[in-house]
Amino acid sequence: MSRPGRAACLLAAALAAAAFCAGDALARSYPFGPRTRNVNDLGNQFVPFHAHLWDLLHGRAEDGLLVNWQSGYGASFLPDLGTYLGSPFALLIALFPRDETDLAVYLITVLKIACAAAAMTGLLLACRPGRWWAAGLLGASYALCGWTLADADYNPMWLDGLIALPLLCLVGEWARTGRRFVPGVLVVALAWTANFYTAYMATLGAALVLLLRLLLIRPPRRQALATAGRAALTTALGVGLAAPLVLTVYFGTRHAYPGRARAFTPVPAEDVLARLLPTAYGWGSPALYVGTTALLLALALPFHRAVPGRVRAGWTALVLLAVLSLQWAPTHLVWHAFATPQGSPYRQTFVVCGLLVIAAWHTLSYGPPGPRALVPAAGLFALITALAGRSTVLRPLTWPGSGPAQRPRGAGHPHHDVPA
């Protein structure tokens, strides 16, 4: 990567980490104030699991990887390890004192968000050359999307999917250009080992991006088939390397006590549109906010004449189809591995947020859009706000709010979420 590329990644990581911590400081949330983060799953499962991992890494546990006798009257631990602690970031818990596990989990969360910002920035510059600082700002917008702040920062294992999406898209680029086969396999394996659940969603998103790239570039048929073959082989080998852990989790989940059966019910369209706006929050609706600037750039893409027509049409169509797929039951099941999850039904939202940011980058990388693009984009933005006006997820600060992503009101009270 060039020096401007490295600078862009560092800028994105620093901005994302600083903004996330500043939001918690303003909210007086731990570790910057008295308000605890350890409610529901974070306090009852994820932090205790990290504490148990600390015991294992330091040789102080009275059990091993198979059984955790510290959970209730004893519970199998290997499926929990694969589901919640498979990320390499989890090993950082060993560097902290055991009585600072809360702080360690928070810092790991911040580090994951920073890495997601850097990874998306690298992907943007790999897709299209452009101003390094603009790529860094959009990378930070992706890492601080509404899904991160409303859902994933209290489910730290999901943040590995936030990192995986741009990395898997890069693997698709390597497959397209016939480069870095072995690193691509390792990236896929690492993503699926870190958190197979969100990695599955990220893999679907990366496949859609690669398919669109091929449709836009229009390589010879033989070359396109070779690209698809390389991508499929890379994915299969990577998932195969992660299979020992993934299969353990799968069979452990299959034999676990059955949860509640739940049918998917889409939220009203005005709620979906409202979640594109700042500070809107509603449990059970897709947190699509990526920043007002990034949204305006994405809305300007169809009207930006400097962008080739096929690029405008392709990325606009992909974003629209991805948003619509949130609301249709069959595609909802595909996104969630054919099982409606308990808790939040829109866990794939980070993929749509990533597509919005990539579309915004295509608008900007061809040159700043002029009035002919920005005026209709502003009109679409006004239409979105008007249609969202009836939504109950809006807050008083939604209307004056703009700029970098903000923590949605109510995000300090996470709901009970467990993997499907």
Residue 418 within a domain: no
| 46 occurs within a structural domain | no
Contact 346, 286 (CB under 8 A): yes
Q: Has residue 416 got a pLDDT over 70? A: no
- Distance between start and end Cα atoms, the chain: 38
- Residue 332 in contact with residue 265, Cβ under 8 Å? no
Instruction: List the domain range (segments joined by +) for residue 294.
Output: 3-34+106-398
- Asked if residue 31 has a cis previous peptide bond (ω within 30° of 0), the answer is yes
**What pLDDT, on the 0 to 100 scale, is given for residue 407?**
40
- Kindly state whether residue 145 falls inside one of the protein's structural domains: yes
Of the candidates 308, 224, 259, the one whose C-alpha atom is nearest the C-alpha of residue 419 is: 259
- In whole angstroms, how far apart are CA 263 and each of 253, 307, 335, 341, 412? 19, 42, 14, 9, 27
For 373, the 3-state DSSP assignment is helix
Q: What Rg do the C-alpha atoms of the chain give, in angstroms?
A: 21
> In this predicted structure, what is the pLDDT of residue 413?
39
Residue 118 lies in a domain: yes
Between 106-115, 280-289, 377-386, the lowest mean confidence (pLDDT) is in 280-289
Domain presence at residue 158: yes
At residue 397 the predicted structure's pLDDT band, cuts being 50, 70 and 90, is low
Indicate the average pLDDT of the chain.
89
Residue 101 lies in a domain: no
The whole-number pLDDT of residue 263 equals 82
Q: Which amino acid is at 346?
A: Y
Tell me, yes or no, whether 147 lies in a domain. yes
* DSSP code per residue over 175-200: HHHT--HHHHHHHHHHHHHH-HHHHH
What is the model's pLDDT at position 40? 80
Q: What pLDDT is stored for residue 403 in this prediction?
A: 38
Evaluate whether residue 94 is within a structural domain: no
Residue whose tokens read 């330091």: 58
Number of domains observed in the structure of the chain: 1
pLDDT in tens, 183-218: 999 999 999 999 999 999 999 999 999 999 999 999
